[in-house]
Amino acid sequence: MIVVLLGAPGAGKGTQAAVLRDRLGIPHVATGDLFRTAIREATPVGLEAKAYMDAGQLVPDGVTIRMLEERLGRPDATGGAILDGFPRTAVQAVALDHFLESRGARVDAALLIDVPAQDLVERLSGRLVCQVGGHSYHVRFNPPRADRICDVDGSPLIQRADDAPETIRARLAGTLDDLNAVVAHYRATGALRVVDGRQPITDVSAGLVAALEAGLAGVQGSRQA
Ligand SMILES: [Zn+2]
């Protein structure tokens, strides 16, 4: 089962990915981790990606797809994976479809955690990030148990300088255009499921699980027919 998790920065994807991973028993494959692991382990495609990054260039989609292929070939991913951070553009979504098709698979569900732009700005400007593990919190929506201390590893939480509202608004604009194009792609393929991301975190989780189960039941039903 291949699940694509979609949402703008600040929509709470990281938190929900962990919930889905535990629920579905398939790994959470975040693009950032994918790159870091492939580069650290110096796999052939990892070295190729590193060469682009060292040269200050974007890693071509084909290279990212091969990294994904490597990752999906690992034993923990035999049941599928939750993709997070890829596809980021409509072009990548098409490339992913072609790649999965070549393996006799497809994106079974694309789950969108939907949050309006203005809410995103509010959320992102209150974000606190753990410098050690990258765990994220929010002063208002998801505060740590102790003030400015990470619940997971006890390290200090910081507010990034580029988390000012104007900076965020500018940064979001391009990202949202790309996200909307990816959403349109999965709406067209029929894989899209939308969950209102303005609800409390546990309700969003429940909504995602319900959307996924409803979607998969539909898929199974149509396969039997
Ligand atoms: Zn942490």
- pLDDT tens-digit map of 70-103: 999 999 999 999 999 999 999 999 999 999 999 9
Q: Specify whether the CB–CB gap between 164 and 193 falls below 8 A.
A: no
Q: Sign of the C-alpha dihedral, residues 169, 161, 56, 87?
A: negative
- What is the separation, in whole angstroms, between the first and last Cα of the chain? 19
| d(CA 137, ligand 1 centre) in Å | 10
The residues that are catalytic are 13, 88, 127, 160, 171
Per DSSP, what are the bridge partners of residue 82?
3, 28
Q: What is the pLDDT of residue 216?
A: 65
pLDDT at 171 over 90: no
Q: What is the pLDDT of residue 220?
A: 47
pTM: 0.80
34-46 tens-digit pLDDT: 999 999 999 999 9
* 105 alpha carbon – ligand 1 mean position (Å): 35
- Calculate how far, in angstroms, residue 17's C-alpha sits from the geometric centre of ligand 1: 16
**pLDDT grade for 166, boundaries at 50, 70 and 90:** confident
Tokens 């990212």 identify what position?
64
Share of the chain above pLDDT 70, in %: 95
**pLDDT (0 to 100) of residue 123:** 81
Mean pLDDT across 114-121 = 92
| Residue (of 174, 219, 213) closest to 20 by Cα position | 213
Going from the Cα of 149 to the center of ligand 1, the distance in angstroms, rounded, reads: 8
Q: Where are the alpha helices (DSSP H) in the chain?
A: 13-24, 31-40, 44-54, 61-72, 90-102, 117-124, 165-189, 201-224
User: How many A from CA of 115 to the centre of ligand 1?
Assistant: 25
Q: How far is the CA of 164 from the centre of ligand 1 (A)?
A: 22
Within a 10 A sphere around the Cβ of 86, how many other Cβ atoms? 22
